[in-house]
Structure 1
């Protein structure tokens, strides 16, 4: 296994985990533990990153704690975190020390880390290609590398009339969180690739991969079919969507090449960890979705 990633959960081979087979358990137990000596460092890191990239903004995120598959239903255990804490913990130069302290204090290497749950999509076109994007130099992480469409599900999308900075766990409703998890990946595809939602299938969850380059941050990886051909997708991408600035180029790869990608040293090296996680899970699960 590539040291950049680890697979913490995968759907059974050729299986399907659709939205109706996923539930969430929300609890303050699943929030990040506070380490007093590091909290000011989080604030200092954030101020420095904002000076370097003024377009960065903080926001509430779902914090991934763990997952359990039982009787065909996947339960995700989630808390709340934010992007500022993510940069100040998972991306801190002291992330390894935080993991060691977490193990010592709670027998949990991720206890002091923000761990915002990401989403990514293995997007499969009508002519049997998968969609990859070359990340822009403006993005906060993995700049210039090849990725799959993705981002983060947003707590603010599940609540009404609550300012984002005021969102608390008690505002979150489990069924709406699951809905946001599955709908957010379709929204990311629409915004990054500029394909209409009506051209996309219902997402199937492949599993959850950890990005070891960002201290084990977890991402839910999905499989989505697109009714458009690769050339039709390319033309839509060239028009540009709301998040067109996040990438500089679109890349298409045949399914058979994707399944062999891990053996292609040069191609695999170009992928950022989130893309590696998606490709690995797709090759392990190989869903059959019409």
Structure 2
């Protein structure tokens, strides 16, 4: 990964206490703030839903064609060339429709996501293109918006905690097109084809449902579905999901990932046994289950710098690391594993950890 552990930890604040159960959620979201953390920007609610994050009823979606990306002849030609090259390098790649994030707003105490459509091909030719900075400059020049031409597909990631307090991660398969071999939370993309027909209208099973509600439900439920498909656990073994916020990968042209959180009724040993069966639908997308112990999670706050907008507690240098006890520095098995998790993490995992800390949701021993 190109973001060092020292750079990453500058962005995370110290947790004051461990959280092992949900606390009451805030009834209304007053605003959202965007916080820059090196190559990751966080978009998070104000106030924080400490110990709970955001419920389904506090999030909304607005789906309309005006949220699709802008196009131009020269850019489409470039996208086609990038896609041809990537497909030649990795024959397992395939194009597919994706939802696009075109910003957000807060209205009547709800966080509304502006959603359009894009594709995986467009992602490769814009956000993942070597010319992504030029594309953003073109958007700023023509529309006053650096994201105007960007694909910005909606990604989702799920922070899962087992009944005995382990964080559930997987190592991405080495054939994958992005971050092969990196550690990640279960995740992927909500799929427009699950709800739309080829002509763009809702499938018959949704009847006269409001399209915004159906889109939101697909986005929300996809996070849990990704865990089912990648780990082999069932939806019934997960708690109700909560929404943490959005992380934007600035090294990939501001590519967004929506972070979610849930607890499992299964222990770490049970998750390991389920995963080892290899019968999950997307078993080939990961090469290893990686379970982070509560002891390792407990070391994270001792290693993290305070964010720029916070004041350090008494005795902690503003620009320095929090000092570890001498014994922990000498015998730092859990510390070494925590560093390993961060250094081998995808941007999505790093963003998810940042957001989870913000809501004080990691179980600390």
Distance in 2, Cα, partners of 1:46 & 1:169 = 29
Contact 2:238 2:265 in 1 (8 A): yes
State TM-score, norm by structure 2.
0.73
Find the partner of 1:90 among 117, 121, 127.
Answer: 127
Number of the residue aligned with 2:64: 27
Q: 1:102 to 1:255 in 2, by over 3 A?
A: farther
Aligned with 2:215: secondary structure?
helix
Number of the residue aligned with 2:288: 249
- Cα deviation code 1:164-220 (max 9, x no counterpart): xx4379998111111111111111000111111110112100001101232111111
Aligned with 1:47: secondary structure?
helix
Find the partner of 1:6 among 37, 41, 47.
Answer: 41
Contact 2:297 2:362 in 1 (8 A): no
Contact 1:26 1:169 in 2 (8 A): no
Find the partner of 1:269 among 343, 357, 362.
Answer: 343
Find the partner of 1:167 among 200, 219, 228.
Answer: 200
- Cα deviation code 1:122-167 (max 9, x no counterpart): 00110011111111111110111111100000111123xx23xx43
Aligned with 2:176: secondary structure?
coil
Segments of structure 1 that go 5 or more residues without pairing to the other structure are none
Higher helix share: 1
Distance in 2, Cα, partners of 1:190 & 1:169 = 25
Residue 30 of structure 1: how far off its partner (Å): 1.4
Question: Aligned pairs, how many?
Answer: 285
Aligned with 1:128: secondary structure?
coil
Number of the residue aligned with 1:72: 109
1:182 aligns with 2:220: yes
Aligned with 1:222: secondary structure?
strand
Residue 59 of structure 1: how far off its partner (Å): 0.9
Find the partner of 2:86 among 40, 45, 49.
Answer: 49
Contact 2:44 2:355 in 1 (8 A): no
Aligned with 2:358: secondary structure?
helix
Distance in 2, Cα, partners of 1:110 & 1:226 = 36
Aligned with 1:167: secondary structure?
coil
Give the alignment of 1:136-215 within 5 angstroms: 136-159=173-196, 162-163=197-198, 166-167=199-200, 173-215=211-253
Give the alignment of 1:210-249 within 5 angstroms: 210-240=248-278, 241-249=280-288
Contact 2:356 2:362 in 1 (8 A): no
Distance in 1, Cα, partners of 2:235 & 2:201 = 30
Structure with the greater alpha carbon radius of gyration = 2
Aligned with 2:157: secondary structure?
strand
Greater mean alpha carbon deviation, residues 83-92 or residues 256-265:
256-265
